[in-house]
Amino acid sequence: MKAPSLTLKKMVNESTIQNLKRLQYLSEDQLAKLERTAIAHKRYSNIRFNIVFVDKKEVVVEVSQGRSLSENYADAEGLVRLTKEMIDNSMLSGRALRVGTKIYIKTDSDIVTTSWIKNKMSKVGMRAVDVEQYMSIDKSTLSLYLNGRRELTRKVKSDFFHRLRALILDDVYIGKEGSVYSVYRNGNSLQLSFV
């Protein structure tokens, strides 16, 4: 076997695919093809690959998807299919391909945006000063969030979601005459808002 080239060593060491070095039996072209495909999946769908184990009988790959700006999420079967398309039979050299998946599960706080916060504030009749006190946020920080000048991190979104959600019961109930109304909690008393 000839010595690997410098570019092959660099590709294996700096790969988008974790532990690509475990597939060193592949040709430089095959490794380059895997790398190009993995980069595209990472860029467009935040899908990552990890070569967990390789022996003479099997190749075990873990594929996972993180939060994606495109919000195009694959289920477990989709991730397996993508992996099998990427690592085709010609790359397995008679080995079986086993794929483990970690799918992305969208959290409730992912729905939180500045407009969501403003909507919830107006639903309850809260002003910015009320939110400042309720959430223990200083005035300038809240203003930056509400005006979209500061990014809502995942932690901040979660805080807003759970705090404002606790304040607003979004459940819809049917009244005696069939009228629909929402129940809001304001301090210790309940206010009924008829729709």
Give per-residue pLDDT as tens, 140-184. 999 999 999 999 998 899 888 888 776 665 443 333 334 433 344
What single-letter DSSP state applies at residue 108? G
Q: What is the CA radius of gyration of the chain?
A: 25
| Paired strand residues for 168 | 184
* CA distances, 25 to each of 4, 31, 86 (Å): 11, 9, 16
CB burial of residue 78 (10 Å; 0-12, 13-18, 19+)? middle
- The model's pTM is 0.58
Confidence of residue 192 (pLDDT cuts 50, 70, 90): very low
* CA distances, 93 to each of 21, 41, 87, 192 (Å): 16, 24, 11, 68
> Phi/psi at 147 (nearest 5 deg)?
-95, 5
Q: Count Cβ atoms below 10 Å from residue 11 Cβ, excluding itself.
A: 20
The dihedral through the CA atoms of 84, 87, 93, 95 has a sign that is negative
Confidence of residue 130 (pLDDT cuts 50, 70, 90): confident
Q: Which of 18-32, 117-131, 152-166, 176-190 has the highest mean pLDDT?
A: 18-32
